[in-house]
Amino acid sequence: DTGVSQDPRHKITKRGQNVTFRCDPISEHNRLYWYRQTLGQGPEFLTYFQNEAQLEKSRLLSDRFSAERPKGSFSTLEIQRTEQGDSAMYLCASSAKTGKHEKLFFGSGTQLSVL
């Protein structure tokens, strides 16, 4: 257990529905990341927060996706009007900057299946 919690672990939804995932990072970590992983592939960067500020969003994050970290602690990722292509594992990671490069601690992810 890395200390990063994600909820739910699994989500099955019908196409067109909205879904929301939650991530609770390690408490002292000020940086939070969302990645997406499809079967057989490595994770792909989606977005990054430093405290409550969202500092970068990937082009993978379409207008249907929105992420928030309102108090600089937990984060939510919402997907509106889900499509079958959204089916993937959504991974959250957190880190604390202690030097030029910091270690990412990943949660176990939320597996989304869009029917």
**Shortest Cβ 81–other proteins spacing (Å):** 27
For residue 50, give every residue at least 6 positions away whose Cβ sits within 8 Å of its Cβ, in sequence order, or none: 30, 31
44, 54, 72, 76: which one binds other proteins (CB under 8 A) = 44
Interface with other proteins, residue 101, by CB under 8 A: yes
**Phi-psi domain of 40 (left: phi exceeds 0; alpha: psi -120 through 50; beta: other):** left
Among the candidate windows 14-22, 64-72, 77-85, 88-96, which touches other proteins by CB under 8 A? 88-96
Interface with other proteins, residue 25, by CB under 8 A: no
Which is nearest to 90 in space by CA: 71, 113, 69? 113
The kind and range of the H/E element at 53 are strand 53-57
Q: Quick one: CA dihedral 60, 66, 67, 68, positive or negative?
A: positive
Interface with other proteins, residue 4, by CB under 8 A: yes
7, 102, 113, 115: which one binds other proteins (CB under 8 A) = 102
What is the C-alpha to C-alpha distance for residues 14 and 67, in angstroms, rounded to an integer? 21
Between 45 and 74, CB nearer to other proteins: 45
Interface with other proteins, residue 109, by CB under 8 A: yes
What is the binding site for other proteins (CB under 8 A)?
A: 2, 4, 31, 33, 35, 40-45, 48, 50, 55-56, 91, 93, 95, 97, 100-109
